[in-house]
Structure 1
Amino acid sequence: MPQTLLLLLADTILILHVLFVAFVVLGLLAVYAGYFLSWRWVRHRLFRIAHLCAIGYVVVQAWLGIVCPLTTWEMALREKAGADIYAGSFIQHWLHNLLYFTAPEWVFILIYTAFGSLVLASWWVVRPDKRSR
């Protein structure tokens, strides 16, 4: 497979990863903002289930010490293309690059768990509709 195609695939996975992270983070912000602004869509059951499952997946990976498959796949494609790869998880890498902050793995586990707890709490604070419309 040509190097440019491998890098294009790696960049596509990176974009999907960023979109996943945005869904998790912005989804929670939208739920709480929607509560105060009376947005009905934030109570949509399928949205809420997808959001809870997304952060649940991240929390379980963190607790088990598993690197996200998107990170692994992206790095494998970059390595096969002969490009630079990074160590650690996707979030650790980008937080380090954006904030020049390095933290032990347990800090990220704590952050993911706390965030996941906020998402779970949102089910009681901003109750989803009983059924999807």
Structure 2
Amino acid sequence: MGYRVAADAVVIFHFIFIVFVMSGGILALRWKWLIAMHLPAVAWAMSVEFFHLYCPLTPLENTLRAKAGEGGYTGGFIEHYLVALIYPAGLTPGIQLWLGASVAVVNITVYGVLVRGWRMRRRQL
């Protein structure tokens, strides 16, 4: 049971990381200290998608599931709702490039707004 819980925790962390990559820039508009964590996360996510790297969370989760005696993603809330979002069926290199581009566009837009706000405040001083 412990290995299954740990594998589920890895999936939850993976999902939270993806959400953070996509929306962390918006949070950084409010909390500037998040930029130091968000930009490296964005760089990693874009690298995984653009260069087709294997995220280390995936083999960790698979190892934990194997130790729990599971043979894949069967049963349970976590597997049913989150795994399909993180590991979609039919994921191709082309789709990965689009995903990476989406990460780039969203974050370039958000950080563009952030930098523009900084410049406007600096001019007012």
Q: Same fold (TM over 0.5)?
A: yes
- Residue 108 of structure 1 pairs with residue 92 of structure 2: no
Q: List aligned pairs for 1:1-133, cutoff 5 A.
A: 4-28=1-25, 30=26, 42-85=29-72, 94-95=84-85, 102-127=90-115
Q: Distance in 2 between matches of 1:120 and 1:15?
A: 26
What TM-score comes out, normalization by structure 2 length?
0.68
Moved over 3 A (4+): 95-98
User: 1:56-84 CA deviation, whole Å, 9 max, x = no partner?
Assistant: 10111222222211111011110222212
Read off the aligned partner of 2:68 and give its amino acid letter: A
Task: Decide which structure has greater helix share.
Answer: 2
Q: Tell me, which stretches of 5 or more residues in structure 2 are unaligned?
A: 74-82, 120-125
Moved more, 115-124 or 73-82: 115-124
AA aligned opposite 1:65: H
Whole-angstrom CA distance in 2 between matches of 1:13 and 1:97: 13
Deviation at 1:97, TM superposition (A): 7.9
Segments of structure 1 that go 5 or more residues without pairing to the other structure are 32-40, 87-92
SS of 2:70's equivalent in the other structure is coil
Q: Deviations over 1:95-124 (max 9, x none)?
A: 4888xx634222122222332233134222
Taking every aligned residue pair, what percent have the same amino acid on both sides? 23
The amino acid of 2:45's aligned partner reads: V
